[in-house]
Structure 1
Amino acid sequence: MSLLDQTGQSLVSVFYNFISTVHGTCNHPIHLVWNKQLPPKVQFFSWLAWKYKLKTSVFLQRIGILDGSASTLCIFCQEQQETAEHVLISCHLVWKVWTGLLQWWGTTWVVPNSVSNLLLWWSGFDCRKSERRIWNAIPLVTLWSIWKHRNECLFQASSPNLQELQELIVTRIAIWLKAASTKLHFSINDFLYNISAIRHCINEG
């Protein structure tokens, strides 16, 4: 049985195009994770987080890398065990970062219980095509930035400063997106403090 139709297209491709035409583009975290607008390190980290492959303290202790007496508490709150879900999403200090970013964008949500559900919700959010380039970058840069800050606190003895992390995340998004596309004409300052105006004037494409 041939997997190609009369035009030479694969049947999977034909079926996908049909579904997209009838129901709209299929949303799936994989399309969000491999975002070519962002550095490869951010894409790869997001894939690791999505696939539950992060080397958290709890994971390292479970496989014997960390001694049984070593602390596995979250480096930020020092209250809960450092699972991927906790340190990236549900830690009450980290959650303030997510809440601030969503308020910056002008929306709210209910906290997801996993990175997978976070990306699934994010990929299905309804926004204009011109805005989606920015919207899709937010969760990936946020996850990577939180983990990077976690490592700085853990390995460089830095003090957690999640209050400034939100602004740093927005700055990184602006710099990386501007570097990836010549169609985004805005200043970093406007991106930080006037996102509503940018969302209404950014070019399509």
Structure 2
Amino acid sequence: MSSLSLVRFSPSLADSRAWSLSSSGLFSVKSFFLALSKVSNPILFLPAKFLWSSKVPSKVKALAWIVAHGKVNTNDKLQLRRPYKSLCPQWCILCKGNGESIDHLFLHCPVTIGLWNKLFKLARLDWVPPRVLRTLWQERNNRIFKDKGRSEETLWDLILFYSSLWASCSTAFRGVPLDVLQLNWSEIV
């Protein structure tokens, strides 16, 4: 609060918005990331180049970033911030057991493990495509806020569909029909 008292307003100038971290004065995730990476430990940002240059929507990149940094508002974090408003931190909306934490929701939940097993067997991957994180987060929110849940098979189909859809929008797969990409999904991830 004391830093706010240092702010001086000029009655002769009109109010304006400006983002000092970019030359245009406009906010961008890139300018914010660059500012963060200058002041933080560069070792923590090794996967960042891969993540931010990937061909997935920005909202998915942002979710993967906040998951990696432990900043997702899962029930355990909400309970610490506002214990009177949070859902039960000892209950995971996906599996109906265990507490909901970032690790549980994205790694250890039986629903999540089932999806990871399919992914790693089908595509022979040793990394996590951001689309899976986004699907899990959307499913969690649908169950909490809309009281609607989908089966693990439906979640898997959504992961395949959106991954194929994003690939079809990239220059590498331009002209390849979406149904062909879905059939050869393991080749695009």
TM-score range (shorter-chain normalised) is 0.5 to 0.7
The structure whose RCO (Cα within 8 Å, separation 6+) is larger is: 1
Work out the CA distance in 2 between the residues paired with 1:53 and 1:66.
20
Q: Residues 83-133 of structure 1: CA distance to partner in whole angstroms, max 9, x if unpaired?
A: 01111121011111111112221x27xxxxxxxxxxxx62xxxxxxxxxxx
Question: Does 1:193 pair with 2:156?
Answer: no
Change (3 A) 1:104 1:160: same
2:81 matches 1:58: no
Distance 1:103 1:186 in 2: 24
- Measured after TM superposition, the shift of residue 66 of structure 1 is 4.3
Give how far 1:71 is off.
Answer: 1.5
1:188, distance to aligned residue in structure 2 (A)? 2.6
Looking at structure 1, the residues matched to 184 and 150 of structure 2 have their Cα atoms a distance apart, in angstroms, of 27
Q: Is 2:61 the partner of 1:71? A: no
Mean CA deviation greater in 58-67 or 27-36: 27-36
CA distance in 2 between counterparts of 1:102 and 1:189 reads 21
Structure-2 change in CA distance of 1:89 and 1:185 (3 Å): farther
| Equivalent residue for 2:65, pick from 47, 58, 68 | 47
Give 3-state SS (helix, strand or coil) of 1:34's partner: helix
Q: Shift in Å at residue 36 of structure 1?
A: 4.1
Map 1:74-85 to 2 at 5 A: 74-85=92-103
Match of 1:168 in 2: 158
In 1: Cα distance, 2:70 partner to 2:150 partner: 24
Contact 2:131/2:159 (8 A) holds in 1: yes
Aligned length: 143
Query: How far apart, in 1, do the equivalents of 2:49 and 2:79 lie?
Result: 33
Which of 23, 27, 32 is the equivalent residue of 2:50?
32
Give me the whole-angstrom Cα distance separating, in 2, the residues matched to 1:152 and 1:35: 29
The answer as to whether partners of 1:170 and 1:192 remain within 8 angstroms in 2 is: yes
Amino acid at match of 2:58: P
For the pair 1:103 / 2:121, whether they are aligned, the reply is yes
5+ long unaligned stretches in structure 1: 1-26, 109-120, 123-137, 200-205
Q: CA deviation at 1:183?
A: 3.9
Residue 170 of structure 1 deviates from its aligned partner by 1.4
Residue identity (%):
22
User: Structure 1's 67 and 76: CA in aligned 2 closer, same or farther, altered over 3 A?
Assistant: same
Match of 2:144 among 148, 151, 154: 154
Find the aligned partners of 2:139 and 2:114 in 1 and give their Cα distance: 15
Task: Output the TM-score relative to the length of structure 1.
Answer: 0.62
Q: How far apart are residue 37 of structure 1 and its match? A: 1.0
* Superposition RMSD in Å: 2.3
Runs of 5+ in structure 2 lacking a partner? Answer: 1-44
Alpha carbons of structure 1 residues 74 and 35: separation in structure 2 relative to 1, 3 Å: farther
Aligned to 1:178: 168
Residue 32 of structure 1 and its aligned partner are, at CA, apart by 2.7
Distance 1:44 1:189, change over 3 A: same
What is the CA–CA distance in structure 2 between the aligned matches of 1:43 and 1:145, rounded to whole Å? 13
- Structure 2 vs 1, CA of residues 34 and 92 (structure 1 numbering), >3 Å: closer, same or farther? same
Larger radius of gyration: 2
Rounded to whole Å, the distance in 2 between the matches of 1:32 and 1:190 is 26
